[in-house]
């Protein structure tokens, strides 16, 4: 196989003597080898980020914005090539890989725009009679260099969500992509290297997990922004309680279909969206639809429609333009899903379609009658599987949604504004989507979870706020 793909230390491509094979999840075909960073590379990247922090914080917003805009344009120009790379390393169908590339470009566009606007605020001090005419400027100052850690399921866009807001506020960043899917992150390095960003401001380091604790603990990286599974995220937070740690973790997102969502067109729309977004990326999204709560007045018809739609989804080779559902990241992940479905079936659930595995592929699957204690109901399945339950009215639906350790987003299919506002008030989640699935996410809108789904918010502007702290300049007596 050809030379390993280099990683990036302080904006410079580098090889080491170690490399790892990256294989296609669909057929295990070799895709590339990726160079693996060493402790010495990590130390060098950290020293460079530390040294760059003050000058980068003072660098002009115009320069940062131009660089981010360049990356956005290049992502768009190279969409097809990048999408093929995402499909090759992650196994998601090309259509979803293209969508991901477009979303990453959007993240950089938003960051480029917001880098120009982002400042602080002016507050009056003449509320104190001793300070007539006094004012205070509340500037936003980068907290310091950021360590970004990302999962395999959106190997480009979640890296973009770490890198772009950090660079927009003038915070150097070291990003650590997931071991199975480093290639699109490393390709992003090519685009960053085309810009005028200072070299110390960014590094992209595929590091083995056992080399991470030292980097996580390094006090020169005061911010850790983690997206991934709960156990890993929580272990990081516990290891560095004095640091600013943002966690974007898992979920078992729900869709509620209300009694007023009842015309044939309503039900067709809900069934299509639920079927597609329970199974897109083989269900490997933290906001994929996992649990559906349908009002008893429409539940039978909705279930029939969802089952039919799921059964017609095209599965197979993700490189095929027609494929809607490809493999999971590996066979082990598919075996876990197979086991959870078998457990639910043994406990009395009915498999309405799907329920079988071939290698890393798990068939899109719908179950009804899943006991609330089954892992399919209470854990994060992260596979193309959804459960449907009947409920009587909004109160029961909301109680069932809230009966979860997680709380990322919920979709509520209703036409009624009072139900929408009730959902906002009563659902314990980071976001409610009306008339659609919980899987809707816009790159610039605050995004994140409550309970075990996370701490803090991303979304370009929310992340920029999170990566900075207020610094006050007061003029008490002007």
Active-site residues, by number, are: 248, 286
Task: Evaluate whether 460 touches 444 at the Cβ level (below 8 Å).
Answer: yes
Nearer to ligand NAD, 189 or 449 (CB): 449
Closest approach, Cβ 37 to ligand NAD, in A, equals 12
User: Which DSSP state fits 34?
Assistant: E
Closest approach, Cβ 470 to ligand NAD, in A, equals 25
Tokens standing for residue 467: 């990566």
> At CA 183, angle to CA 380 and CA 35, rounded to 5?
115
Beta-carbon contacts of 363 under 8 Å, excluding residues fewer than 6 positions away, are 315, 353, 354, 355, 356, 357, 384
- For 307-348, strand residue ranges (E) read none
Closest approach, Cβ 2 to ligand NAD, in A, equals 24
Phi, psi of 221, deg, nearest 5: -115, 85
Nearer to ligand NAD, 288 or 344 (CB): 288
Closest approach, Cβ 132 to ligand NAD, in A, equals 48
Closest approach, Cβ 5 to ligand NAD, in A, equals 17
Task: Evaluate whether 68 touches 164 at the Cβ level (below 8 Å).
Answer: yes
Query: Which residue is at the shortest CB distance from ligand NAD?
Result: 228
Count Cβ neighbours within 10 Å for each residue of 68-92 and write b for 16 or more, e otherwise: bbbbbebbbebbeebbebbbbbbbb
Nearer to ligand NAD, 112 or 221 (CB): 221
Task: Evaluate whether 146 touches 198 at the Cβ level (below 8 Å).
Answer: no
Nearer to ligand NAD, 49 or 286 (CB): 286
CA-closest candidate to residue 329, choices 47, 77, 89: 89
Nearer to ligand NAD, 158 or 363 (CB): 158
Task: Evaluate whether 142 touches 170 at the Cβ level (below 8 Å).
Answer: yes
Nearer to ligand NAD, 247 or 351 (CB): 247
> At CA 52, angle to CA 120 and CA 159, rounded to 5?
75
Nearer to ligand NAD, 195 or 284 (CB): 284
Beta-carbon contacts of 346 under 8 Å, excluding residues fewer than 6 positions away, are none
CA-closest candidate to residue 202, choices 279, 111, 306: 111
What are the CA-CA distances from residue 183 to residues 81, 224, 259 (Å)? 12, 22, 46
Closest approach, Cβ 256 to ligand NAD, in A, equals 20
Task: Evaluate whether 410 touches 451 at the Cβ level (below 8 Å).
Answer: no
* Interface positions with ligand NAD (CB under 6 A): 149-153, 158, 176, 178-179, 209, 212, 216, 227-229, 232, 236, 248-250, 286, 380, 382, 408, 449, 454
């Amino acid at each position: 196989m050809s030379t390993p793909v280099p990683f990036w230390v302080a904006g410079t491509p580098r090889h080491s003597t170690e490399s790892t094979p990256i294989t296609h999840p669909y057929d295990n075909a070799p895709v590339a080898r990726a160079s693996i960073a060493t402790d010495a590379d990590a130390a060098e990247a950290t020293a460079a980020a530390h040294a760059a922090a003050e000058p980068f914080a003072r660098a002009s917003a115009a320069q940062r914005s131009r660089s981010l805009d360049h990356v956005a344009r290049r992502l768009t120009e190279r969409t097809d090539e990048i999408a093929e790379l995402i499909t090759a390393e992650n196994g998601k169908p090309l259509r979803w890989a293209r969508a991901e590339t477009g979303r990453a470009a959007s993240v950089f566009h938003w960051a480029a725009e917001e880098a120009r606007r982002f400042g602080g605020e002016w507050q009056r001090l003449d509320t104190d009679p001793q300070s007539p005419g006094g004012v205070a400027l509340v500037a936003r100052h980068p907290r310091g260099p950021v360590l970004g850690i990302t999962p395999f399921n959106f190997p480009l866009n979640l890296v973009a969500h770490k890198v772009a807001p950090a660079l927009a506020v003038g915070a150097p960043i070291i990003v650590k992509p997931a071991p199975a899917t480093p290639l699109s992150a490393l390709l992003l390095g090519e685009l960053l290297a085309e810009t005028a960003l200072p070299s110390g401001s960014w590094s992209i380091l595929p590091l083995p997990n056992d080399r991470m604790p030292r980097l996580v603990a390094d006090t020169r990286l005061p911010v850790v922004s983690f997206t991934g599974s709960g156990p890993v995220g929580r272990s990081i937070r516990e290891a560095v309680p004095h640091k600013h740690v943002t966690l974007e973790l898992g979920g078992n997102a729900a869709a509620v279909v209300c009694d007023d969502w009842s015309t044939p067109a309503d039900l067709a729309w809900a069934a299509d969206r639920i079927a597609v977004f329970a199974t897109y990326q083989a269900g490997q999204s933290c906001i994929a639809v996992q649990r559906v709560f349908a009002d008893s007045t429409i539940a039978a018809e909705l279930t029939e429609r969802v089952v039919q739609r799921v059964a017609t989804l095209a599965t197979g080779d993700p490189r095929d333009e027609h494929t809607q559902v490809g493999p999971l990241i590996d066979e082990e992940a598919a075996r876990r899903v197979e086991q959870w479905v078998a457990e639910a079936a043994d406990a009395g659930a009915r498999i309405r379609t799907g329920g079988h595995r071939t290698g890393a592929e798990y068939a899109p699957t719908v179950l009804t009658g899943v006991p609330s204690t089954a892992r399919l109901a209470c854990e994060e399945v992260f596979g193309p599987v959804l459960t449907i339950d009947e409920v009587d009215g909004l109160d029961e639906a909301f109680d069932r949604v809230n009966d979860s350790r997680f709380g990322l987003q919920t979709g509520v299919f209703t036409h009624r504004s009072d139900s929408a506002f009730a959902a906002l008030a009563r659902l314990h989640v980071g976001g409610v989507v009306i008339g659609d699935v919980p899987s809707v996410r816009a790159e610039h809108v605050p995004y994140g979870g409550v309970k075990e789904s996370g701490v803090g918010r991303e979304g370009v502007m929310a992340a920029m706020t999170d990566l900075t702290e207020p610094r006050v300049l007061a003029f008490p007596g002007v």
